[in-house]
Amino acid sequence: MTDQRMRELTYKLIHMAPEAPPFPEEPLTQLKPHPTPTPKGPARRGLPTWAIAAGVAAIVIVLAIGLPLLFLAGGDGVEPATPTTTPPPTSAPVTTLPPTTPPVPVDVTLYFFADYVEATPGDGPHLVPVKRTVDIVSETGGIHDEFGAALIALIEGPSAADTQLYAGISTDIPGETELLGYTIDNTTSTGRAVIDLSADFLDTGSFAMTNRLAQIVFTATQFPEVDTVEFAIDGEPFDSFTGEVPGPRSRDTYMDALPPIFVESPLAGDQVGSPITITGFANTFEASLQYRIELADGTLLADGFTTATCGTGCWGTYEITVDYALAEPADGFVVLFESSAQDGSPINVVRVPVTLEAAEGSTEGLNLEVSSLTAGGAPLNGAVVVESPLTITGYTNAATEVRVGGETIGVQEEVFEAVVQLVPGINEITVTAGPLTSVYTITYVPDGTVEFAFLTEVSDTEIVADYAQWLTGEEADQAAIEDGEIPEGETMPNGYYIRNQNPQLRTLPVSPDVTIWLPTPAIGSVTMVTLPLEQWLSLFSEDGTPWDVETGEEPPVTDEPHFGYFGAGWVGNPYWLTLDADGVVIQIVGQYRP
């Protein structure tokens, strides 16, 4: 069939077009034929008696709800209206007519096929749910309208929007298939739907019959009124699908069409807020599954793991509620996966694209602590460093990945280590773990130096320093043995050794903006606190020299501040001094000694 011939045929067809009818001035109240097969309408073609019974039951419901409309439809309420050929009731008093019911948009779920499971070895396309908003022209409301609209939309196939969400999404239902009618009987505990399709549904070709049945069954059983599906073809009950076992079909019949982890909610394209509830079915090793909430660029917002009600060969359900924090709404993914029993790598990964609403998130019980490896253990925030990149370490129980200055870092057993490139001057480094975020301000002095020293005199403009060496580990042991402090083969009791061989004293200018950190006792540990220069100076004796118990110089016992900083103003207490390129002291960090 050439394009020319197609065009010719189309022109012949279109040339039959009659004149346009006049503008419909008044809304007509003509009842639309209900999609439910009716016992007497021309749409019915020999459905069996049980179907007729169900149809009658449906009509009774329609009548009960739709009575006022039927009454106004020209008095033939008992006789369901025939398709659009029914003339409008021109004699009816127009002023009392109710307005035409506008179409009501309703969200339904359609099931197509897509190869959307990542890291699943040798597995083909799986059922994938997508959301579709269908217009329901609801004279009566209820399941029948939604049900029919969902099936019609399903037969129509994936939309352009679906293709955007799932590349390669496809339908196995022949596009020519038409929904001729259906009945739903939920008078017993098992809701049963009979769906009447045109014979096009049986078209063979390359599409698998199992898949198209699975699509219909999953779409039909999304409605709580429907548990099993039976079929009719061109009005006749039909149950001899090629290669298919006969009998009522339910979701259980087609669980094989699902991926090992199936997400029922949220659906692709959904807008979700915190907390997100994730539900679905899974058949994973030992029923365990893991989840992540991440932004489109991979930034992790929340993660964790759960177990389904069954696993390792049986299908279980799962429900996950997860909090996240996000300043601005953003596109992201709900990701479900299981860890390979072999090597722990993620397998059966399902990524559901969603829009995440902004959320504050719950931070109860979550911690994020970051420390630097700077000399003397000065806290990261406010620290002055002389080297870049800077290695920082942290602890968090809030996530398995953290974001440090734009880089994603894995957290192993709640500990992480990140290498941060610094620019000269002030750097702001943001560390994010799940809903927690901390910002650290670090000053980088490129040509600075760090010296370890004892202080023999201090003032607000100068300090006198006696440089020494702070050695730890094997280096400490070796040096101590060399210096004769400990015998060969022994180790330093606290793991450090201070070597001070050169008695030279240096007078160093102190910056008025100097930062001072001192160790202070905390419950069960030591923390670093910063204090103003004046307060630090007051820890020393009045002439600026350290207190020395051997020469009898001691602060008054009532002078409490002296006892809070592990003897910071006493002789023999070492400090780390940070000097800028000009040799000016810009940071003083007290070294804690056990």
Partner 1 sequence: MTDEEIYRKYSDDLVRFATGLVGPFDAPDVVTDACLRAFGAQSWPTVANHRAYLYRSVLNQARSHHRSTLRRRVRELRAAAPEVAASPEVDVDVLAAVDKLSVQQRASVVLTYWEDLSPTEVASRLGISEGSVKRHLSRARSRLKELLHD
Stretch that binds partner 1, among 12-20, 311-319, 325-333, 389-397 (CB under 8 A): 12-20
- 156 binds partner 1 per the rule CB under 8 A: yes
- 587-589-590 Cα angle (round to 5): 150
Nearer to partner 1, 20 or 327 (CB): 20
Near partner 1 by CB under 8 A: residue from 57, 65, 89, 198: 198
Which one-letter amino acid corresponds to residue 268?
Answer: A
Near partner 1 by CB under 8 A: residue from 146, 162, 227, 323: 162
Nearer to partner 1, 173 or 261 (CB): 173
- 10 binds partner 1 per the rule CB under 8 A: yes
- 327 binds partner 1 per the rule CB under 8 A: no
**CA–CA distances in Å: residue 16 to residues 139, 158, 359:** 33, 32, 59
Which has the closest alpha carbon to 385: 394, 372, 397?
372
Nearer to partner 1, 166 or 517 (CB): 166
Q: CB of residue 39 vs partner 1: minimum separation in angstroms?
A: 16
Which one-letter amino acid corresponds to residue 215?
Answer: Q
Q: With contact defined as beta carbons under 8 Å apart, do 280 and 264 qualify?
A: yes
CA 265, 266, 268, 269: dihedral to nearest 10 degrees? 140
Cα distance between residue 287 and residue 478, in whole Å: 54
Nearer to partner 1, 84 or 189 (CB): 84
Cα distance between residue 3 and residue 120, in whole Å: 43
Taking residue 411's Cβ as centre, other Cβ atoms within 10 Å add up to 19
Nearer to partner 1, 152 or 310 (CB): 152
- 412 binds partner 1 per the rule CB under 8 A: no
Within a 13 Å sphere around the CA of 465, how many CA atoms are in the beta-carbon half? 23
Assign 464 to helix, strand or coil. Answer: strand
- 407 binds partner 1 per the rule CB under 8 A: no
Q: With contact defined as beta carbons under 8 Å apart, do 432 and 403 qualify?
A: yes
Task: Kindly report the three-state secondary structure assignment for every residue of 396-449.
Answer: ECCCCEEEECCEEEECECCEEEEEECCCCEEEEEEEEECCEEEEEEEEECCCCE
Near partner 1 by CB under 8 A: residue from 93, 99, 493, 552: 99
> What letters, b where the CB count within 10 A reaches 16 and e where it falls short, cover 568-585?
bbbbebbbbbbbbeeebb
Stretch that binds partner 1, among 3-11, 243-251, 292-300, 471-479 (CB under 8 A): 3-11
Rg (CA), the chain: 39
Near partner 1 by CB under 8 A: residue from 118, 135, 286, 554: 135
**CA–CA distances in Å: residue 312 to residues 151, 284, 290, 514:** 33, 5, 15, 63
- 7 binds partner 1 per the rule CB under 8 A: yes
Q: CB of residue 102 vs partner 1: minimum separation in angstroms?
A: 5
Which has the closest alpha carbon to 127: 278, 309, 267, 306?
267
Helix (H) / strand (E) element for 63: namely helix 49-72
Stretch that binds partner 1, among 46-54, 80-88, 404-412, 423-431 (CB under 8 A): 80-88
Cα distance between residue 240 and residue 330, in whole Å: 49
Stretch that binds partner 1, among 169-177, 207-215, 291-299, 574-582 (CB under 8 A): 169-177
- 32-37-41 Cα angle (round to 5): 65
Which has the closest alpha carbon to 299: 327, 278, 272?
327
Site for partner 1 in 101-120 (CB under 8 A): 101-103
- 157 binds partner 1 per the rule CB under 8 A: yes
- 483 binds partner 1 per the rule CB under 8 A: no
Q: CB of residue 116 vs partner 1: minimum separation in angstroms?
A: 16
The size of the interface with partner 1 (CB under 8 A), counted in residues, is 53
Near partner 1 by CB under 8 A: residue from 50, 63, 159, 270: 159
Assign 508 to helix, strand or coil. Answer: strand
Q: Helix 143-156 to helix 209-220 angle, to the nearest 10 degrees? A: 150
Nearer to partner 1, 155 or 458 (CB): 155
Structure tokens at 138: 């609801």
- 90 binds partner 1 per the rule CB under 8 A: no
**CA–CA distances in Å: residue 159 to residues 109, 352, 430:** 13, 17, 41
Helix (H) / strand (E) element for 354: namely strand 346-356
Stretch that binds partner 1, among 46-54, 95-103, 312-320, 515-523 (CB under 8 A): 95-103
Cα distance between residue 296 and residue 333, in whole Å: 7
- 163 binds partner 1 per the rule CB under 8 A: yes
Q: CB of residue 30 vs partner 1: minimum separation in angstroms?
A: 8
Nearer to partner 1, 179 or 349 (CB): 179
- 141 binds partner 1 per the rule CB under 8 A: no
Structure tokens at 465: 């320093």
- 12 binds partner 1 per the rule CB under 8 A: yes
Stretch that binds partner 1, among 72-80, 150-158, 340-348, 384-392 (CB under 8 A): 150-158
- 167 binds partner 1 per the rule CB under 8 A: no
Cα distance between residue 450 and residue 220, in whole Å: 72
Near partner 1 by CB under 8 A: residue from 49, 84, 96, 412: 84
Stretch that binds partner 1, among 35-43, 292-300, 479-487, 553-561 (CB under 8 A): 35-43
Near partner 1 by CB under 8 A: residue from 139, 200, 369, 553: 200
Q: CB of residue 18 vs partner 1: minimum separation in angstroms?
A: 5
Stretch that binds partner 1, among 4-12, 330-338, 375-383, 431-439 (CB under 8 A): 4-12
Cα distance between residue 150 and residue 134, in whole Å: 7
- 43 binds partner 1 per the rule CB under 8 A: yes
Stretch that binds partner 1, among 98-106, 354-362, 367-375, 422-430 (CB under 8 A): 98-106
Q: CB of residue 114 vs partner 1: minimum separation in angstroms?
A: 13
Name residues whose C-beta falls within 8 Å of residue 410's C-beta, 6 or more positions apart in sequence.
400, 401, 416
Cα distance between residue 38 and residue 400, in whole Å: 59
Structure tokens at 477: 């042991």
Nearer to partner 1, 198 or 362 (CB): 198
Q: CB of residue 3 vs partner 1: minimum separation in angstroms?
A: 8
Name the residues that contact partner 1, by CB under 8 A.
1, 3, 5-7, 9-21, 23-24, 27-28, 32-33, 35, 42-43, 45, 83-85, 99-103, 135, 137, 152, 156-160, 162-163, 175-178, 180, 198, 200
